[in-house]
């Protein structure tokens, strides 16, 4: 698979992750019922996170970059975004704050991928 295809799949998976997070936050803000799509959003979140991880490491191998600092930081962001689903469920009162903060993690990830900062 080409590096460009890895990038496209990676970006599409990130979009799915944040779509699922948005759905879960709306569910928390509206105090939705168990049948209001929460299960679909949770499954989408988990599957898309897996695809993000696989394509990220596949791209890293394809480009032979090694584990640079910016990659470690992106792994940390991946963990934080993965844990966000628990924060949304356990702290539904904070969903509005998370609505503002979680997209910033995506922006930080984009910054790291584009500029690849290193010490």
What length is written for the chain? 119
Query: Is 71:60 a contact under the CB 8 Å cutoff?
Result: yes
The terminus-to-terminus CA distance of the chain in angstroms comes to 31
Number of Cβ atoms within 10 Å of the Cβ of 65: 12
For 6, 60, 81, the CA distances from 3, given in Å and listed in that order, are 5, 9, 24
**Taking the chain (119 residues) in consecutive chunks of 10 residues, what is each chunk's mean pLDDT?**
95 97 89 76 96 96 89 96 93 88 95 91
Q: Could you list the beta-strand ranges (E) of the chain.
A: none
> What is the pLDDT at residue 34?
66
The tokens describing 28, both together, are 């928390």
Query: Is 41:88 a contact under the CB 8 Å cutoff?
Result: no
Axis-axis angle for helices 38-63, 3-29 (nearest 10): 150
The tokens describing 67, both together, are 């584990």
């Amino acid at each position: 698979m080409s590096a460009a295809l890895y990038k496209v799949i990676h970006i599409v998976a990130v979009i799915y992750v944040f779509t699922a997070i948005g759905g879960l936050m709306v569910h928390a803000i509206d105090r939705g019922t168990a049948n209001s799509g929460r299960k679909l959003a949770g499954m989408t979140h988990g599957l898309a996170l897996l695809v993000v991880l696989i394509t990220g490491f596949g791209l890293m191998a394809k480009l032979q970059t090694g584990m640079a600092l910016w990659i470690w930081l992106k792994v940390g962001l991946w963990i934080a975004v993965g844990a966000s689903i628990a924060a949304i469920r356990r702290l539904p009162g904070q969903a509005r704050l998370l609505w503002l903060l979680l997209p910033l993690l995506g922006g930080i990830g984009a910054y790291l991928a584009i500029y690849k900062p290193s010490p």
